């Protein structure tokens, strides 16, 4: 699945949190699993061996959620939502990363792989449809919550997006 869609879905998971910082933490938790994708910088062999292994499992989910909870304003809520966002990432990867991309959920305890026979290709209508739906939900948050994911980068730019979306719907 596209990293932007992972970020949007994670942001939506925490959109009701009052603190922008807490929403950022939940969003980061939903993107962190792709940190093991940086192995691509070492070449195709390390990438194919380690992507969906090191940071696509339970140990990484627990560590990430605890860290997010520790630095959050609403510690328990953010820790729980971070755990959920992390697992939404894993679920999306399990469904839409393409056949032959299993997860090693219990690594480092075992290298047993978790997969699903119905996995669809990365460039599929399912991923495109899900991505479009999630993006439209993020834009709908301009009306529902007076913010969008753009807030994580710039409050001024987010205000412009919210204003534009609201004007289009008048």
Tens-digit pLDDT string for the chain (170 aa): 889 999 999 999 999 999 999 999 999 999 999 998 888 889 988 888 888 888 999 999 999 999 999 999 999 999 999 999 999 999 999 999 888 888 999 999 999 999 888 999 989 999 999 999 999 999 999 999 999 999 999 999 999 999 999 999 87
Query: What is the pTM assigned to this prediction?
Result: 0.93
Say what the pLDDT of residue 47 is. Answer: 84
Whole-angstrom distance, CA of residue 110 vs CA of residue 117? 21
Say what the pLDDT of residue 53 is. Answer: 84
Whole-angstrom distance, CA of residue 75 vs CA of residue 65? 10
Say what the pLDDT of residue 51 is. Answer: 82
CA distances from 83 to 55, 68, 79, 80, 164 (A): 13, 9, 6, 5, 33
């Amino acid at each position: 699945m596209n990293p932007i869609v992972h970020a949007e879905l994670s942001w939506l998971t925490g959109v009701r949190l009052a603190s922008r910082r807490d929403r950022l933490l939940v969003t980061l938790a939903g993107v962190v699993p792709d940190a093991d994708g940086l192995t691509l910088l070492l070449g195709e062999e390390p990438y194919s061996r380690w992507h969906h292994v090191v940071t696509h499992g339970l140990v990484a989910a627990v560590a990430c959620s605890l860290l997010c909870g520790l630095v959050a304003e609403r510690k328990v809520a953010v820790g729980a939502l971070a755990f959920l966002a992390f697992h939404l990432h894993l679920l999306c990867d399990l469904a839409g990363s393409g056949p032959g991309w299993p997860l090693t959920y219990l690594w480092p305890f075992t290298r047993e792989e978790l997969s699903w026979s119905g996995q669809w290709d990365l460039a599929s209508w399912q991923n495109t449809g899900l991505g479009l739906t999630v993006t439209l939900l993020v834009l709908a948050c301009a009306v529902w919550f007076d913010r969008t994911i753009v807030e994580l980068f710039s409050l001024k730019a987010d205000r412009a997006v919210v204003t534009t979306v609201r004007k289009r719907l008048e």
